[in-house]
A and B are shown apart, each in its own frame.
Chain A
């Protein structure tokens, strides 16, 4: 075949792909007869409302000397691990505000941290492209430093996010600036599977976030600078189960919805979205109008334990509480008394295992715990 013919075939194939993508987009639009807020309103649901002293900041965890970049709760109730620009991980008892561990990291440029399901280990990763595991029971060395118990090396770019596979301390999933996600076997330190990457149908930009399905730990979702979120089955590394389009900027945060059949995303385009994993439908967009067309970026998201509330942290220090069913912003934790200082970015947030508290981490170097202190009506 001549070169001209090869070029011609390539052009035709590219056009076919674009046409099919357009058809898919139109077909999806046609099936979106309603979004969640439209449907909920039609069913008589009204927005959640909070009194001024309902959701309050009940703890401030002070100790980091740099911006807080990441946090994670344990699966039992009260402990949190946080990672900071100061090059340390701190393990807190959030109930007593006490620090139980302060770990100086071999590489100060940390971006993510995670607690293992048993609470015995923590993992972190960052610009060193490595995910490091610390066993919290390890004795410190001569210099008072906690030794790394395992280093997971193999990524060719920064480690942006990590999460242990639920129910076992032996596997975790990382996302990376090298456009891949990896499932690791911690006991051997080896990669079990690589999702995406060269020659695979994976992300085409840095991957910034992962979330494993709490109801089915074989499924996880990733968010990327390519503007998409992808659903993966850990048994099939060669291609994503489904790709979710819609965002117009980097997808910084992804989080599974409590029922395991939906997931939320947060993006540089200033919006959060809710997608259905089975059908691929984009069920809802959560966004506010911004006068100057320069919407703050969504940095992090979390759902309340029922999914009724979506917490979203923004680059301008806002922390919106969205009613997920009515798509209405019902509270801004960033403007409450005792909130993080100034208009500093909320970089991370997470819900405690029993859903009774939210922790926010900020560039003001603090973490704050928020809980419901009002009168609760049981229906």
Chain B
């Protein structure tokens, strides 16, 4: 797809006519299974401008800033046990029709799935 190629930045060598040849450098979009960014250089000559390279660098610098911000914020967060406590409190405070044991109040309408409807041929409950 053209758009894929557009977003791939490249290193450049000057060609005879002054245009720049491209050696493909894979970008953030090409990640291996560990999420590591690949920076392989392949020599497949193409001709693009230096601005493509600048865009790639800018993108990388954005990523560096974003990750650094997250690292800084991480220092202010507590351990996961604090969050786990919140989760239990939240779960146990809401009435749940699908549990065998739940806090109230219980709504009568929860059981509407087992009431005989006007269309049914008998008044038998479903189970």
- Which of A6, A156, A262, A278 sits near B3, CB closer than 8 Å? A156
Q: Are A198 and B6 in contact (CB under 8 A)?
A: yes
Task: Report B100 CB to chain A, min CB distance, Å.
Answer: 6
Q: Name the residue in B11, B68, B71, B78 with the highest tally of chain A Cβ atoms < 10 Å from its Cβ.
A: B11
Q: Are B70 and A24 in contact (CB under 8 A)?
A: yes
A290 within 8 Å of B (CB atoms) = no
| Bound form: Cα–Cα A96–B113 in Å | 9
Q: Name the residue in A199, A259, A306 with the highest tally of chain B Cβ atoms < 10 Å from its Cβ.
A: A306
Task: Report B106 CB to chain A, min CB distance, Å.
Answer: 6
Task: Report B116 CB to chain A, min CB distance, Å.
Answer: 12
| Bound form: Cα–Cα A156–B3 in Å | 10
Q: Mark A254-280, 1 if CB is under 8 A from B, else 0.
A: 000111011000000000000010111
Count B-side interface residues using an 8 Å CB cutoff.
75
Task: Report A368 CB to chain B, min CB distance, Å.
Answer: 12
Interface segment out of the listed A33-41, A119-127, A206-214: A33-41
Q: Are B85 and A39 in contact (CB under 8 A)?
A: yes
Which residues 11-61 of B have a CB within 8 angstroms of A? 11-14, 20, 23, 25, 28-29, 31, 33, 35-37, 39, 41, 50, 53, 55-57, 59-61
Residues from chain B with a CB closer than 8 A to the CB of A36 are 84, 87-88
Chain A residue nearest to B33 in the complex (CB): A248
A96-B97 contact in complex given A10-B25, A307-B91, A308-B91, C-beta closer than 8 Å? no
Interface segment out of the listed A55-63, A107-115, A132-140, A168-176: A55-63
Residues from chain B with a CB closer than 8 A to the CB of A257 are 87, 90
Residues from chain A with a CB closer than 8 A to the CB of B85 are 39
- Which of B39, B79, B86, B100 sits near A376, CB closer than 8 Å? B100
Residues from chain B with a CB closer than 8 A to the CB of A14 are 37, 39, 60
Q: Are A43 and B88 in contact (CB under 8 A)?
A: yes
| Bound form: Cα–Cα A33–B84 in Å | 10
- Which of B6, B28, B97, B102 sits near A379, CB closer than 8 Å? B102
Q: Are B109 and A309 in contact (CB under 8 A)?
A: no
Q: Are A24 and B126 in contact (CB under 8 A)?
A: no
| Bound form: Cα–Cα A58–B114 in Å | 7
Q: Are B88 and A39 in contact (CB under 8 A)?
A: yes
| Bound form: Cα–Cα A369–B58 in Å | 51
Task: Report B79 CB to chain A, min CB distance, Å.
Answer: 4
Which residues 358-375 of A have a CB within 8 angstroms of B? 358, 369, 371-375
Q: Are A10 and B103 in contact (CB under 8 A)?
A: no
Q: Are A21 and B35 in contact (CB under 8 A)?
A: yes
Residues from chain B with a CB closer than 8 A to the CB of A358 are 98
Residues from chain A with a CB closer than 8 A to the CB of B25 are 7, 10
Residues from chain A with a CB closer than 8 A to the CB of B117 are 95-96
- Which of B66, B88, B102 sits near A325, CB closer than 8 Å? B88
A377 within 8 Å of B (CB atoms) = yes
Task: Report B29 CB to chain A, min CB distance, Å.
Answer: 5
A242-B70 contact in complex given A31-B79, A58-B113, A198-B6, C-beta closer than 8 Å? yes
Q: Name the residue in A11, A43, A355, A377 with the highest tally of chain B Cβ atoms < 10 Å from its Cβ.
A: A355
| Bound form: Cα–Cα A48–B114 in Å | 22
Task: Report B122 CB to chain A, min CB distance, Å.
Answer: 15
A23-B71 contact in complex given A36-B87, A156-B3, C-beta closer than 8 Å? yes
Q: Are A304 and B98 in contact (CB under 8 A)?
A: yes
Q: Are B127 and A17 in contact (CB under 8 A)?
A: no
Residues from chain A with a CB closer than 8 A to the CB of B23 are 7
Chain A residue nearest to B103 in the complex (CB): A379
| Bound form: Cα–Cα A356–B64 in Å | 46
Which residues 74-96 of B have a CB within 8 angstroms of A? 74, 77-81, 83-88, 90-96
- Which of B12, B97, B126 sits near A355, CB closer than 8 Å? B97
Residues from chain A with a CB closer than 8 A to the CB of B60 are 10, 13-14, 16-17
Residues from chain B with a CB closer than 8 A to the CB of A236 are none
Residues from chain A with a CB closer than 8 A to the CB of B66 are 201, 239
A315 within 8 Å of B (CB atoms) = no
Chain B residue nearest to A25 in the complex (CB): B35
- Which of B64, B94, B111, B114 sits near A17, CB closer than 8 Å? B64
Task: Report B117 CB to chain A, min CB distance, Å.
Answer: 6
Seen from chain A, the residues whose Cβ lies within 8 Å of a Cβ on chain B are: 3, 6-7, 9-11, 13-18, 20-21, 23-24, 27-28, 31-36, 39-40, 43, 45, 48-51, 53-56, 58-59, 77, 95-96, 156, 198-199, 201, 204, 226-227, 239, 242, 245, 248, 257-259, 261-262, 276, 278-281, 283, 304-309, 324-325, 354-358, 369, 371-379
Q: Show 6 A/B contacts (Cβ-Cβ < 8 Å), sorted by A.
A: A24-B67, A56-B127, A306-B102, A371-B97, A375-B100, A379-B103
